[in-house]
Amino acid sequence: MEKLKGKVAIVTGAVQGMGKSVAKLFAQEGAKVVVNDISEQKAKKVVEEIKSGGGEALAIKADVTDSKEIFRMAEETVKKFGTIHILINNAGVLCPTKTEEISEEEWDLVINVNLKGTFLCTRAVLPIMKKNRYGRIVNFSSSAGRSVSTLGGVHYTAAKAGILGFTRQLAKEVASFGINVNSVCPGLIDTEMVRGNCSPQKLKNYEHSFPISRLGKPKEVADLVLFLVSDESSYITGASLDINGGDLML
């Protein structure tokens, strides 16, 4: 059964890791998927993979920190697929820099991509979802947003914590329009970004410290996101769901 048949979804930062897994799973479940990234070439490659599996997708290059590009992405999505039902705010950047060594430029980059990008993409799709009286928005926070970051710096933790507050407030604001807004809080997931910021030995040490002693898989996160945008979660909004192998228990 295709849980997302007839739905149109935008997934930001969808060329690798969790975003790519979400985009491919949505397509398998019948959604028409916009694969967004700042690299058009990489986005088109993911679209080719989706189409080769029988899915329908469109690559759109857009910087989530640029409001003009994000409004253009929303317009192109509607032009191609007719509407927008689902937004997955996944695009993010992680930097491990210590506080006193963070430049203003790096602070702005991390905050803008993770937090401002979530706001800009959401703002662009809300009028469409309100008109439809239906919408599903899932924002990617992190265990960092719930507690502290394993790999990232204070700017990363601040951005991810901000996403949790953004999620709750937005969920309250738009519930009457049939729009559900939730966030997911992954722990250490086996992605390119994680492996690019941690040595193999350190990752092994982290794995052994978790109750479920391994890294999470991008597909496991994608399955959780699929649940949150499906009809099965219609009474869930304003929630933050942890997926971290028991590393953080609240």
Task: Measure Cα distances from 152 to 80, 96, 107, 142, 160 in Å.
Answer: 37, 4, 12, 11, 10
Please give the full DSSP string across the chain, using - where no structure is assigned. --TTTT-EEEETTTTSHHHHHHHHHHHHTT-EEEEEES-HHHHHHHHHHHHHTT-EEEEEE--TT-HHHHHHHHHHHHHHHS---EEEE---------GGG--HHHHHHHHIIIIIHHHHHHHHHHHHHHHHT-EEEEEE--HHHHS--SS--HHHHHHHHHHHHHHHHHHHHHGGGTEEEEEEEE-SB--HHHHTTS-HHHHHHHHHHSSS-S-B-HHHHHHHHHHHHSGGGTT--S-EEEESTTSS--
The answer to whether 206 is a known catalytic residue is no
Pick the catalytic residue from 134, 156, 206, 235: 156
Please identify every residue annotated as catalytic.
156
